[in-house]
Chains A and B, each alone.
Chain A
Amino acid sequence: MIDRRALLRLAAGAGTASLVAACGWDGGNAVRPLLLDISRFNDWMGEKVFFSKNRLAREYPIAERTALLPSYFISPTMPMLENPGAWRLQVGGLVREPQSLSLDQLHAMPRTSYTVKHHCVEGWSAIATWHGVPVSAVAERCGMLPQARYVRFDSFDSGYSNGWDLASAMHPQTILAYGMNDNPLPPTHGAPLRLYSPTKLGYKMTKYLVSLTFTAERPGGYWEDQGYPWFGGV
């Protein structure tokens, strides 16, 4: 008969040893798939349990804006359009009428402005004002089909992209932002157009947008495909 005491000691020892062996390590090929499975479960929890369609993020007074909001891009140099006048946002996928929208057309659509806290996955936070058109208004304009379950956002920043669940994309505070702190969106923050929402971590908010595609299949994303949580909701 196996000694139960010895077995317990072995289990405790093995658990500790495996942790020690894991130091500074991402889990290797054996553990990484398990961690990613749990991450999928956390995505589901994020969307179905924690996320509320109606809860609005707290808004702050303009006086509380952060002077300098850090900005990231993945290209070696800041992505800039050679011919900004020719830029169009392509809206397609599972829609009745695909669109090609100019900045002027977006400006003419319903406008949302708010001053909210930005949460970065790294742990910092900062407050800024954003101005733009709700993604839900774009979905209405192009006649989003009922089969659409996700939205894919693509950029001209070396192929950076993000995939979103539809519920988060349709949240009233999820906007395509063309303005920041009462000014046009600066190139550091994704000019001419970026995705913004106080319900998501910074890396989910695609900058330098070129297209928005409604899909039935879950789109990946630049950081998401490397292991960052896909849902990324706050």
Chain B
Amino acid sequence: MTAPSRPQAPPPPPPPPIPAVKRHHWIVRLTHWMTFVLLAGMIMSGLQIYGAYARFGERDGPLYPNPFQDHGFPKWSRLGGWLAGGLNWHFTLMWPFIIGGLLYLSYLAASGEWRSLLFRPRDIRGAIEMQKYYLRLRKDHPPQGKHNPLQKAAYTFIILLGVLSVVTGFAIYKPTQLSWLTALFGGFQAARYWHFWAVWIFTGFLIVHVLLVFIVDPASLRAMISGWYRGRFPSHD
């Protein structure tokens, strides 16, 4: 009797393909990348404009605290070359920036997508659970819809920041014709100040946003380009 030949181990079955889910409508993808490019242009031309008077406060009046006081920004970070160029870029890009924003918000409203994005009081509890998970106080990833409650908070906040930057922009653009709006932000110099703050909050958001995409869910980048998601968090509302 010959020893039976050792049966060859069958190759492991290929992992089941991750089902692709349709995640982002073309309007969302278009306005996302549009906003990215336009916002970069708005910020860079804004830094050019800032250099013409690099402080906040009335002449002879108290100044608002500003770590960038009396400092221009490096040439690579500016767009326009000089004040008039910066203004013309800023006042050109503002229109597609506003139109893109309105298109996006209209889509959210019309499609009902706002439900999976808008942070509401009922999300507070889920946000706490999510925070616990990130702080390793909880082992399992809490169940979520298209976005987890912390993402909802971040996306709701950034939309509000976009609105704030446009509205403070108009308060600076037309402080006499829209004096009520300028007064709402505490006057011309205060509106300039908040408009400038928006830049740094946008910049901070961008850094964290990109870091999280690559660290937590790289598949979401492809989803924002192609619309299809093949990642770890396919659950949907």
A26 at the binding interface (Cβ < 8 Å): yes
Range of interface residues on B (Cβ < 8 Å): 35 or more
- In-complex Cβ contact of A117 among B36, B75, B188 (8 A): B188
Q: What chain A residues lie within 8 Å of B80 (beta carbons)?
A: 24-27
List, in ascending order, chain A residues with CB within 8 A of B188's CB.
Answer: 117, 119, 125
* Complex-state Cα separation, A12 to B38, whole angstroms: 11
Binary interface encoding of chain A residues 96-125 relative to chain B, with 1 for a CB under 8 A from any of its CBs, else 0: 000000000000000000000101111111
Interface size class of A (residues with CB under 8 A): 35 or more
Q: Judging by beta carbons under 8 Å apart, are A42 and B174 in contact? A: no
Shortest C-beta distance, B88 to chain A (Å), equals 4
C-alpha gap A107/B220 in the complex (Å) = 71
Q: Does A135 contact B (CB under 8 A)?
A: no
Could you say which residues of chain A place their CB within 8 Å of the CB of B89? 26-27, 35
Closest-by-CB residue of B relative to A200 is B176
Whether the Cβ atoms of B179 and A57 lie closer than 8 Å is: yes
Give, as a whole number of angstroms, the nearest-CB distance from A198 to chain B: 6
B-chain residues with CB within 8 Å of residue A119 when the two chains form the complex? 175-176, 188
Q: A78 on the interface (CB 8 Å rule)?
A: no
User: Once the chains bind, are A42 and B29 in contact (CB under 8 Å)?
Assistant: no
Residues of B contacting A69 in the complex (Cβ-Cβ under 8 angstroms)? 59
The listed residue (A16, A42, A127, A234) touching B176 by CB distance below 8 A is A234
Residues of chain A within 8 A of B83, CB atoms compared: 121-122, 228
Contact of B40 with A by CB under 8 A: yes
A9 interface residue (CB < 8 Å to B): yes
User: Chain B residues near A23 (CB, 8 Å)?
Assistant: 44, 75-79
Given contacts A117-B188, A234-B174, contact A34 B92 (CB under 8 A): yes
Residues of B within 8 A of A (CB): 29, 33, 36-37, 40-41, 44, 48-50, 52-53, 58-61, 75-85, 87-89, 91-92, 95, 173-179, 188-189, 192, 225-226
